[in-house]
Amino acid sequence: GEGMDEMEFTEAESNMNDLVAEYQQYQDATIDEEEYEEEEEEHDT
C-alpha cells in the first residue's frame, strides 16, 4: 500500500481531537470526587 492520503490523515486527526476533548471533559467532571476520596483515605490511616 501507499500509506495514508491527506484525507485519511485529517480524519484520523479530528477523531483523535474528539477523543482528547471527551477525555478532558470526563477528567474535569470526576476530579472533585477523586480529590475527596483521596482525602478520606488519608484520614483513615
Domain ranges of the chain: 1-45
Dump pLDDT digits (tens) for 13-26.
999 999 999 999 98
pLDDT at 44: 72
Name 42's Cβ contacts closer than 8 Å, sequence gap at least 6.
none
> Is 2 a residue whose pLDDT tops 90?
no
Dump pLDDT digits (tens) for 29-43.
876 766 666 667 776
User: Distance (Å, rounded) from C-alpha 4 to C-alpha 15?
Assistant: 15
Q: Read off φ and ψ for residue 27, nearest 5 degrees.
A: -60, -45
Alpha helices (H) along the chain: 6-44
pLDDT at 12: 92
pLDDT at 33: 66
Rounded to two decimals, the pTM is 0.46
Cell numbers 480524519 correspond to what residue?
11
